[in-house]
Amino acid sequence: MFLFVVFALIALAAAVGVITSRKPVYSALFLLLNFATLAALYIMVEAQFLAAVQIIVYAGAVIVLFLFVVMLIGGGELDDIGGRNKKFLARLTWPRGIALVLGLGLLVAVGYGLLSGQLMTATNDAAAFGQGSVQAIAAVLYTDYALPFELASILLLVGMIGAVALAQPPKKD
């Protein structure tokens, strides 16, 4: 429980850091921290393999891609969350006010639904679960989910081709 609270607080702080940072580089690094703590939380819910995948895919590939783009376009300060010396209320223009109200409303609705629900009991029978091992996941992935697995590979291929095609410089006629 103690570990959960620590990781949850780090994840939340990193998430707030992502959306409040003035420099995109800081946002990307906060996002990395968020992904890393989420990997730790995956281990706490018996998803060890996916924790490893999380680190490899998100921390290894996605964040590096983000940092590449930030470095390419120059990581200057952004002014879209208001100037540094403005008061908080002065920054709170009406779209941001609406966004804040909607976000808090979503949070209250979800929190109320969960806390009044039936999910407060913890299960202890993790042994029947295969411990989230590669073997247990592979047994399901390559039998019941063989077709989605193949489709995922096609999706990745299409994504790769699309990225290469979009990144081409425009042709001079």
Partner 1 sequence: MVPTSYFLILSALLFTIGTLGVLVRRNVLIIFMSVEMMLNAVNLSFAALARHFLDLNGQIFMLMVMVVAAAEVAVGLAIVMAVIRNKDTTNIEDVNLLKG
Touching partner 1, residues 143-172 (CB under 8 A): 144-145, 148, 152, 155-156, 158-160, 162-167, 169-170
User: Is 28 a residue that touches partner 1 (CB under 8 A)?
Assistant: yes
User: Is 81 a residue that touches partner 1 (CB under 8 A)?
Assistant: yes
User: Is 36 a residue that touches partner 1 (CB under 8 A)?
Assistant: no
Which tokens sit at 112?
A: 């109320």
Q: Which is nearer to partner 1, 85 or 165 (CB)?
A: 165
- Pattern of binders to partner 1 over 51-80, x per CB under 8 A? --xx--xx--xx--xx-xxx-xx----x-x
The distance in angstroms from the start CA to the end CA of the chain is 64
Check if the beta carbon of residue 34 is closer than 8 Å to that of residue 14: yes
Instruction: Report the nearest approach of partner 1 to the CB of residue 90 (Å).
Output: 15
Distance CA 108, CA 79 (A): 30
Q: Which is nearer to partner 1, 85 or 98 (CB)?
A: 98
**Smallest Cα–Cα separation from 62: which of 32, 36, 40?**
32
Distance CA 34, CA 13 (A): 8
User: Is 40 a residue that touches partner 1 (CB under 8 A)?
Assistant: no
Residues 6+ apart with CB under 8 A from 33: 10, 14, 17
